[in-house]
Structure 1
């Protein structure tokens, strides 16, 4: 099991004064609520034949090597070059990986040289070599195609098939045909890459996402993400047998020469090893959170239960004890990948630039009430007292209002913002408004809800993202560019540094809006501040020191 060592420390505090706050803010003691992980959601894998497993980390923008004996994780390629959805080893020992957001196919030679060998292929997903060295990749989600690519990048990619139905994690058989899942059809298919013909091998899956051969080359192991099953398929007949039951959210697999099956799970951010002989499962790398981003806490909650937008899941985490009490999982439910979360009196509001949507959930039951597509790089979203939604479009620089009624109408409240990311409501004021962090300009801006009039509250910050209101009226902001937590007096704009040298702020990725994975901030009624760490997949709290 991979663990990190963390030490409680006293966050540094600068002297500051405030005209509107009754007293200077206290010093804070930093503590771990949920310890971190080496990944931000783990995806495709490959064995290097030397006792290590290569693993791709899309949102963490890294390619990792894992020791098969100890589970120790090291980084082969770090941010921002390593944004990998799948990874493969070439015949000469080069490592190849697919940039889902960047649309780039990357190559790292054995001497450590890294470059893109194909570009402008959004949604690049799976990849595999044929026995003769020919190289194939797919687009999935943002496009739907199978391509042949020159492993040296000298020739332009050649499209083999257009719109196969989302061909996912695949492998070539001894017949030099490609075997893999057609996700939209729930099938495992055989693809002749020379003619483009597709045949069905097996069907009846809910969400097949990857398939690899066993050592006999007569059977395929298939992972069904929605059902959480590892299934053995006999290629000659299409007969299926469930080998092991696993948590939902499975993403990929690789089969060792001893037929041990390594399975990645993006929701749980872990890798498990299945022995198909008896169905037993052990963990190679484990985690508690996947990609903690936005965070919220109800102001009336004495227990300070946190809602964590964990990208591949929505989780409830005890702010005091770190216990995860409830998880709504992506892929096996209708929930899209949440990157931001806010709470209303009856509803939870999620937003996702990853899958371009805003969702409204019933707070009591978790039922999804509305899903609203938005392709403008949505970041923060919150619900106003009348049910209207307020949404920050980081890509367009707009703050928009979405009607509570269906069909939803949209009104632009403010525009010209520079990468709006975080929102904090100020609806109890005489002139109700909302505070907005602008990651590009470094401003915290107040926008009046009645007419969109703007006032700069603070400026000179570097990449401010998450924002929350303290019970005494102060604003707590994650200043990601300086890796610190600051407190802002909304009347004077004066800021006070509460904590420095924080592990926050992965580099922004091509294909996602300003703010990328937002660093979330929430404040409980006790005055404890909660902060997510995208770099460590961890959750921290800052407790006031008496």
Structure 2
């Protein structure tokens, strides 16, 4: 055979067509080019703040499990405490210069001394949220959501916590006033209260807020600044009258604040993952730390969308992002809407399906109208639902990561549930295979390291691939291949569904935050989606970024 004929046959063989799902499709590409769709951030939703008096702002990062330091002049961010120890919902400085922070999911109160030693000083307080010191050095923390109590804690950790007040009504970000009374928002009542921690008495200082989440005194400690998360307002409350004045209008999703010695107010926003500086003298606002995404996790794209518009479950928001230009065109925010902290997203013909695996009151599956964004249905489920898919008849498939079940939810109200399969080990990702002769669904099992196919007619299972390390997000390629985020090995892989053959597409990826106590298997899932062009999209929870992998011809 001549060399030219051999080359011709080799090229013809490389371009030959494969059979997948009953369709004749082109051979998969051998290489991809990695590109940034949305650049990342240091935070995964920024929360509590504290000015250190040395030109820096301490900022807590609950889901990223870190405590950061922000330069007040430049906005430069550095890490003070990294994961997994730094799971902070709020942060404070003690009289001796130690840093204290609260672990909402872990129920632990942490301390880092000036010499860099970190340890737990209180345990078993789920929902541990806000904290503050009184002038005499007494130290108080509050439980919120997973509890409702105010505790006095020994800053040294030698004595057990003492219950100060039971069920104050969800007391959030607070501070002690010059009268040694505690001032803070009572979430359940939309009020700002004055609390005597010695007697337990609670008085109303101001009311009429939608969702007050934190307060701080001004530098002279005469007035209170309040952030109203649902309205996006920074409000000044004049004491002792309780008169209110809106100082600045901000985006909704505000979480906390800190006031500097110059009376500048630093405000965190967990939805936008940023920190803004407000000058109360004129109401001007500027960004200190800017981000575009908060905690990008689940990801979906319509296969017939030529623009490849991405639906991003950003934990604190549902966002629409241009797959080609990275432009964010639509955002539905938590707190100011009925949205429940979306961690996964999938698309049906007419609906968007969201799920959140938070173990608590916010655990649910939500169905939205794809055209209007209207919330049509909320289905509570506290079993750590990771992925959720809508079938053609409107029924839903849910991956319950904590029970190891794949369940079917019908369209009735209230919803009826049927167990399709059980014994799965940490099911996280789902990818439909409903066009096959025997319709099924592919499931990633983060604990067993498997990709499993479950037949929809009877729940029969077949192992497609094993030996993976923490597989999470999964999507079908247009040619029928499975694209999987193998988080434990920091790589993106392709799996042939009929043979289980694995090909590594990209490695060394910044994906896979460490799991947290009190959260389900998979924690913050890494999302994967594939557009009609064959471009693969991937979320990075570590970087709060969005990437694409473009086929190289």
TM value normalised by structure 2: 0.95
Structure 1 residues 405-424: aligned runs within 5 Å = 405-424=412-431
Residue 253 (structure 2) aligns with = 249
1:497 partnered with 2:504: yes
Which of 456, 462, 468 does residue 463 from structure 2 map onto? 456
Question: 2: CA distance between counterparts of 1:284 and 1:215?
Answer: 20
Deviations 1:426-482, CA, capped at 9 Å, x for gaps? 111111110000000000000011111100000011000000000000000000000
Question: 2: CA distance between counterparts of 1:24 and 1:208?
Answer: 53
> Shift in Å at residue 19 of structure 1?
8.4
Question: 1: CA distance between counterparts of 2:380 and 2:417?
Answer: 12
**Does the 8 Å CA contact 1:291/1:534 hold for their aligned counterparts?**
yes
**Does the 8 Å CA contact 2:389/2:398 hold for their aligned counterparts?**
yes
1:525 partnered with 2:532: yes
1:542 partnered with 2:549: yes
**Does the 8 Å CA contact 1:351/1:381 hold for their aligned counterparts?**
yes
Which consecutive aligned stretches of 4+ in structure 1 deviate over 2 angstroms post-superposition?
17-26
3-state SS of 2:188 partner = helix
Question: 1: CA distance between counterparts of 2:72 and 2:219?
Answer: 19
Which of 109, 115, 118 does residue 119 from structure 2 map onto? 115
Residue 480 (structure 2) aligns with = 473
Which of 305, 310, 334 does residue 306 from structure 1 map onto? 310
Which runs of no fewer than 5 residues in structure 1 stay unpaired?
1-16
Question: 2: CA distance between counterparts of 1:434 and 1:388?
Answer: 14
1:92 partnered with 2:99: no
Question: 2: CA distance between counterparts of 1:218 and 1:55?
Answer: 25
Tell me which structure has the larger Cα radius of gyration.
Answer: 2
Structure 1 residues 242-391: aligned runs within 5 Å = 242-354=246-358, 355-391=362-398
**Does the 8 Å CA contact 1:19/1:491 hold for their aligned counterparts?**
no
**Does the 8 Å CA contact 1:18/1:489 hold for their aligned counterparts?**
no
1:431 partnered with 2:438: yes
3-state SS of 1:481 partner = helix
> Shift in Å at residue 24 of structure 1?
4.5
Further displaced range: 23-32 or 197-206: 23-32
> Shift in Å at residue 18 of structure 1?
8.8
RMSD: 1.1
3-state SS of 2:192 partner = strand
3-state SS of 1:302 partner = coil
**Does the 8 Å CA contact 2:29/2:552 hold for their aligned counterparts?**
no
Question: 1: CA distance between counterparts of 2:372 and 2:49?
Answer: 36
1:440 partnered with 2:447: yes
Residue 102 (structure 1) aligns with = 106
**Does the 8 Å CA contact 2:28/2:479 hold for their aligned counterparts?**
no
Residue 35 (structure 2) aligns with = 31
Question: 2: CA distance between counterparts of 1:314 and 1:171?
Answer: 33
Question: 2: CA distance between counterparts of 1:110 and 1:450?
Answer: 61
Residue 3 (structure 2) aligns with = none
Which of 169, 186, 190 does residue 190 from structure 2 map onto? 186
Question: 2: CA distance between counterparts of 1:120 and 1:453?
Answer: 41
1:236 partnered with 2:240: yes
* Count of aligned residue pairs for this structure pair: 530
Question: 1: CA distance between counterparts of 2:40 and 2:471?
Answer: 23
Question: 1: CA distance between counterparts of 2:64 and 2:192?
Answer: 30
Further displaced range: 23-32 or 50-59: 23-32
Which runs of no fewer than 5 residues in structure 2 stay unpaired?
1-16
Further displaced range: 285-294 or 366-375: 366-375
